[in-house]
Chain A
């Protein structure tokens, strides 16, 4: 009989415990990005950043008293697989989606989220895009359910061309990119903005090559040398970026290679000292910027916890903190309320003020042009080279801003 009582007591306790856990809910974030395979490391670097950001918020009392949980879903960078994982995430109770690697995946997720929200009212999900930079997502293809915390390609190009404007010694620019929408968009944006800001600059080459098919970039480099270019602008990422700059270093071409993705994991390690003064990148912040002690502590904590990676996804922390602010402001963790509160929200980040523009859900923030240097506080890729700000490298948010054609449909 005592056994029965004990069992009943245990059952009651566990039911109570469950009820208790319901009142102190968890807000589930689904991180849908590659966590295995060739792109696994870049997804993992983002995942660890989001997890650390969530831990910090939880330690400070959570969001409206609730704890944040970030769960990883491995999408193998396949848009189709992402849809399966998205469904899995939604069914497990996630109302916030985090994704960044690959515009094809981002497009699939935006589309699926739009349709899901239209077909399942009351069960809305919101998608925080932290790295897919195709401008269309906050222009013609904009959605109320999509927020982008990274600057899009045209904004980054704005930063690059602004910097070029300040460099009178650059007279000839060479454009090279991967032969697909993104590469073409980067080239088109560069052409347009340069002709506006520096009409005297001559575009001495506009080259596209197939995606991830070129092994030896030396012939391209020699075309660049022959053209007499003073700077190269490229949207290349992955091995296309690394091999391009590596071939340049081998051929003794010491001109700035202005990239979007120079800071990708392992790029500096692969290039070694050849990247000094050659590899440039545009980002929303680098670890070697002047910052508060809290920020330095965060950078060091990240490196300590995840020694394989570096503090690169600053925007992951911005995303989570802005979510926290919006939810507190709305007084609710409901996706629609949070989404509405996020519109127009301003956040004082470690590297400047971030504003979520209401018309198109595109974060506006200062951008920084940096290059690889030996003389830095924090190295990357576990070697002593790191990123340092270049002269006139700070591009204020207003200068980087790009107009939008978004006509947003908001829910009632």
Chain B
């Protein structure tokens, strides 16, 4: 019982954090077909901007301001970089963001130094909210939960219920038609890219002090974000949400399983001292998302809830 409660709670929080990170990427990916390799770098920028803004003002200002700055940077990247590369195809776009990730990493090191910065949870949220089974749950974890849910609702409302959302959705599938109807499609693209980056920035503000803020944080977060987006399916915010939750829960539940391969396949004669037999499910847990990615793409290339092939 204890294990299940813990795993559920942790899985949901981790899943929501993953969702915050990947929702922006899903937006960009589904709209422009660009797998933004630098997405995790924008997440990092969010954390660093928040650190700087927090130093000058306070956390709440940073929470609003940092994502906006990241969004503006993202719009600049789209306007003067990506748009130019667009003519050379998707591979070129992808490689552009690949190079951009390198660049942002290095610039962050020049500006903020090469080691981690002291970006801490604000005092107002730095207290244990409740305790279950001897483990404290800090208020900040619950705060993450609420911010993520708020973001999910806001995004959903914006995309499904407003006029701007309709245009974006239309531009997603039929950019030429939308252009003919008199909308400025390049501007929409720029806006969406900026918004996607801003969402990554928001995740950075939240995740930067929950985890650590250092120049390696982008590299560490990079791959898992792709997994969420691709498993969830292209063009599907719901899919990204489901995938993020699935991965969060899968991973945390797996950590609590101490069984080894020998315990499971022992009837086949696998010895617990052999190299393969001694591997436990728990130690494999962080690799499961990648296994899931490969399997899903082979079985169902549209992803869980996507409507077209990735």
Residues of A participating in the B interface, judged by any CB pair closer than 8 Å = 38, 40-41, 44, 179, 207-210, 212-216, 218-223, 225-226, 238-239, 242-243, 246, 250-253, 265-267, 269-270, 272, 308, 381, 383
Contact = CB atoms under 8 A, between A and B. Distances in A.
Nearest to A184: B278
Nearest to B102: A37
Contacts of A270: 116-118, 212-214
23 contacts: A41-B114, A208-B280, A208-B283, A216-B13, A218-B10, A219-B255, A223-B255, A226-B133, A226-B134, A239-B212, A239-B214, A239-B220, A242-B116, A243-B212, A250-B141, A265-B115, A267-B116, A269-B117, A269-B118, A270-B117, A270-B118, A270-B212, A270-B214
Interface string B112-142: 0111111010000000100101111110110
Nearest to B252: A219
Contacts of B128: 252
A214 B212 CA distance: 13
A44 to B, nearest CB: 7
Interface of B: 2-3, 6-7, 10, 13-14, 17, 109, 113-118, 120, 128, 131, 133-138, 140-141, 210-217, 219-221, 224, 251-252, 255-256, 280, 282-287
B212 A38 contact: no
A253 B287 CA distance: 27
**Shortest Cβ-Cβ A-B pairs, 9 listed:** A252-B136, A266-B115, A266-B116, A41-B114, A213-B286, A270-B212, A270-B116, A38-B216, A219-B255
B116 A216 contact: no
A226 B2 contact: yes
Nearest to A44: B114
Contacts of A253: 135
A38 B10 contact: no
Given A223-B255, A381-B115, A216 B214 contact: no
Nearest to A39: B216
A269 B141 CA distance: 20
Contacts of B6: 219, 222, 226
A219 B284 CA distance: 14
Contacts of B136: 250-252
Contacts of B213: 270
A207 B10 CA distance: 18
Pick from B14, B215, B224, B286 the residue with the most CB of A within 10 Å. Answer: B286
Contacts of B114: 40-41, 44, 308
A213 B287 contact: yes
Pick from A212, A243, A252, A308 the residue with the most CB of B within 10 Å. Answer: A252
Nearest to A253: B135
B220 A215 contact: yes
Nearest to B215: A38
Given A270-B118, A270-B212, A220 B255 contact: yes
Nearest to A273: B120
Given A222-B6, A226-B2, A269 B286 contact: no
A308 B255 contact: no
Given A266-B116, A383-B118, A223 B256 contact: yes
Given A251-B137, A269-B115, A270-B212, 11 more contacts: A38-B216, A209-B282, A214-B286, A216-B17, A218-B13, A219-B10, A239-B220, A243-B212, A269-B116, A270-B214, A308-B113
A221 B256 contact: no
Contact of A219 (B2, B212, B216, B256): B256
A294 to B, nearest CB: 28
A215 B135 contact: no
A341 B215 CA distance: 43
B212 A216 contact: no
A38 B217 CA distance: 9
Contacts of A269: 115-118
Nearest to B116: A266
A38 B284 CA distance: 25
Contacts of A225: 133-135
B67 to A, nearest CB: 20
Contacts of A216: 10, 13-14, 17, 211, 252
